[in-house]
Chains A and B, each alone.
Chain A
Amino acid sequence: MLAEIGHFALVLALGIAVVQVIFPFAGYRYGYQNWMAAAKPCARIQFVLLLTAFAVLTSAFVQNDFSLAYVAQNSNSALPLPYRISAVWGAHEGSLLMWVLILAGWTTAVSALESELPDDFVSLVLAVMGLVSVGFLLFMLFTSNPFDRLAQVPADGADLNPLLQDPGLIIHPPLLYMGYVGTTVAFGFALAALIQGRLTAISARWIRPWVVASWCFLTVGIALGSWWAYYELGWGGWWFWDPVENASFMPWLLGTALIHSIAVTEKRGSFKNWTLLLAIATFALSLLGTFLVRSGVLTSVHAFATDPARGVFVLALFAILIGGALALYAWRGPGAFSGNRFEGASRETFLLINSVLLAIATATVLLGTLFPLAHEAVGLGKISVGPPYFNLVFSLVMTPLAIALSFGQFARWKSDSASRLVSSFVYTLLAAVGITVAAYFSLGGNDFLLAGVGIFLGALVILSVVRGIWDRCRGRKNVLLTLWRLPRAFKGQTLAHVGFAVTLLGATVTSFYAVDEHVRMKPGDTQNVGHYEFDFVGLKKFEGPNYRATEGHFIVRKNGKTLAELYPQKRFYHVRNTPMTEAGILGGLTRDLYVSLGEPLEAGSWSVRIHYKPLVRWIWLGALFMALGGVTALSDPRLRNAKLARVAAGSAAHNG
């Protein structure tokens, strides 16, 4: 009975979404103001309906209602409650429901928070977002209904994939979806601007908070996924360039390009076309990610179980939405959006360079991800493109990016002289070289060339940021007060750029200086790795709620002094018959020590992997800084400046 309510709520939501699309567009076309006003209430009703459907599905999981096919496939009565709830979004149908719910949430947020924008503009944005919602709801109702019932109710369910039975995996999808779906807002703004045929320097700023907000969620979602893979999968890896990982990374990269492009459009009125194109493309990549995960076109550990009909549907949705948007762009783009002049060595130039480099980085990842498919599609056979390619090419593109970021820190808006830039930059450059040389002597190593470049770039960025702050405080009497009073947007930007450098340094050092040992140990053995000693004390077997486990006990010492005791486990989940590894990790800001059990070998010994990973936590710390930087920038009260909004409204009418 309850499931039917959920299903009905979905159908109603579809109806409302259709209204949300048709009325504002028709109202805009024919000039009916009150039709356009229908958008806001529709968005809110849709949200309530989808929340209802989601609640119904969740209660079905909590109550172990195995008459629903989706519950039977993804849950089990022995599954602990938190995982019964997270199973709601653990597979295809439920995660789609979460997608449309989150979309309705963002849409409602836009309708509620953008009270200062002209109403007709907001209505158009909501209508476009409604169109996306219609597409996904149709997809669900026709091919992926979570409320489908089974003719024969099984006694118990097939259990949630053991890989997903983890706290990190509970919040990773919702955060990632908040980011992915948030790109729809930028898409809506871009199309509304194209439909109206105008985008002023001022109206560009309206998009910014929404892009930054969704970007923050994506940053944290991706970082969380990487962190989870590191501690859960057992061999200390944190990024695999898996197609679905790339599918989340690409909108992030392009979203970063968009943020930088908006900064210029907002300040100088330039790059409007580029901004609009990026907004459309970022959403397109988010949709592409949906396609890649659910269509079965690429193999991935992330891929949901699939069926060709679904792939075709999503591809059609992708083609219609993005094809339509790009056609609109081609039609309205030329002539409608002009910009303001700036000189070669100005801040605008560096922002443009970086926006373009980020777009190239995105294109490179896209090329690598889809190339095998294209190669096979034209009949040239099957090849693989993996980490060796991506690491190489991505690092090559990131290098000029880091340099331009550093230079751009202290270029002035509109015009600057190349000689002034170079002279103020020289000291920073020398300092970065100094740090790199110091690193060489303390870390050593044969492959220092590549590691050195990474360290140099990271140091350069941080030093440039510090120099940029110093420039602002120079000559002021009270430095601390000046620092405190710096605008939040600037503080946010600083934090985010530092975060980028921190991640870069962490990734570089851990990639080149990690020590991995794969050894045979039995209880009583000791292994030396780097400056540390690992004593294998003993093994213990026990039963968990839905698995049985073998747990090893290790003591980690440095120079004789005990640092910690680690308990890596090897688990075997009953229902799905799958093994899982839980590593024993001693974490720290400067290094991680990582022990995982492999397989039992002969005579009571085990294969054990021990890793020493320097600076690995900097990777996620940097991501956290980036996200915090974004949040800080969002909290800038100047964004809510009403006088400016009024000027914007008036100016928008005047300039057309």
Chain B
Amino acid sequence: MIFALTVFAADTPFEFESPAQQAQYQRLLEELRCLVCQNQSLADSHADLAQDLRDEVYSMLGEGKTNDEIREFMVARYGDFVLYKPPIKSSTTLLWFGPFILIFLAGFAVWRAVTRQKKAPQDLTEQEREFVEKLRNETPTSKEDSLQAKLRANDSNRDAPPIKPGNEP
């Protein structure tokens, strides 16, 4: 889409009959997509077309049109693309209901995972686990201590027997 350089469109502020109408205007603008600066809503875009469309929304509100009528007006001319809040129709069911279906499915999966845990071989026995937990909560007491430990750790090879309570060096 190529636009020639043009004089800046007037970024005209509007006067509203009531704060409620102003809020309605603002909300509508945030729902409508600018077709020129396609990553901005009509509220944020500086494009000429955005100003024209803002004017249109303002005058339609002044005529008493509803939000739905204004949206229909835009969609008739620009297609569903112009709505940042996608319409709920058959082709968008996955979009609108997907998250809820996911939560439901995940909830079911979590429930199953928690209530039906298999008795599979464990990687550490309860005793080993407590021992590891004790070690985990110790901090190296002195530099020399940890250095010694490090040296010993590097010396030991993969085939060293596992450390169990009792044979700890």
Chain B residues touching A, range: 35 or more
Within 8 A of A (CB), among B90-126: 91-92, 94-95, 98-99, 102-103, 106, 109-110, 113-115, 117-124
Q: Which of B109, B117, B146, B163 contacts A341 (CB 8 A)?
A: B117
Cα A301 to Cα B82 in complex, Å, equals 18
- Contact flag A647-B139 (CB < 8 Å), given A383-B80, A599-B8: no
Q: Say if the beta carbon of B156 comes within 8 Å of chain A.
A: yes
Cα A577 to Cα B8 in complex, Å, equals 13
Cα A579 to Cα B140 in complex, Å, equals 59
Cβ contact within 8 Å between A599 and B138: no
Q: Say if the beta carbon of A546 comes within 8 Å of chain B.
A: no
Q: Say if the beta carbon of A356 comes within 8 Å of chain B.
A: yes
Chain A residues positioned under 8 Å from B109 (CB to CB): 356
- Contact flag A601-B10 (CB < 8 Å), given A385-B95, A641-B139: yes
Q: Say if the beta carbon of B166 comes within 8 Å of chain A.
A: no
Cβ contact within 8 Å between A647 and B11: no
Within 8 A of B (CB), among A365-396: 367-368, 371, 375, 380-389, 393, 396
Chain A residues positioned under 8 Å from B12 (CB to CB): 520, 601, 607
Cα A244 to Cα B134 in complex, Å, equals 45
Cα A244 to Cα B103 in complex, Å, equals 25
Closest A residue to B159 by beta carbon equals: A653
Chain A residues positioned under 8 Å from B103 (CB to CB): 357, 360, 397, 400
Q: Which of A375, A637, A649 contacts B140 (CB 8 A)?
A: A637
Closest B residue to A520 by beta carbon equals: B13
Q: Say if the beta carbon of B84 comes within 8 Å of chain A.
A: yes
Closest A residue to B122 by beta carbon equals: A340
Q: Say if the beta carbon of A559 comes within 8 Å of chain B.
A: no
What does the 1/0 interface line of A500-527 toward B look like (CB < 8 Å)? 0000000000000000101110000000
Using a CB–CB distance below 8 Å, which chain A residues touch chain B? 115-116, 118, 200-202, 233, 235, 237, 240, 242, 269, 299-301, 338-342, 344, 349, 352-353, 356-357, 359-360, 363-364, 367-368, 371, 375, 380-389, 393, 396-397, 400, 487, 516, 518-520, 577, 579, 598-601, 607, 637-638, 640-647, 649-655
* Subset of 25 A-B contacts with CB under 8 Å: A240-B39, A300-B39, A338-B121, A356-B106, A360-B99, A364-B98, A367-B98, A367-B99, A371-B86, A380-B91, A384-B83, A384-B86, A389-B84, A607-B11, A638-B136, A638-B139, A641-B135, A642-B140, A643-B153, A644-B135, A650-B162, A651-B162, A653-B160, A655-B123, A655-B162
Supply 6 further A-B pairs (C-beta < 8 A) apart from A367-B99, A655-B123.
A371-B95, A384-B86, A386-B41, A641-B139, A643-B149, A651-B128
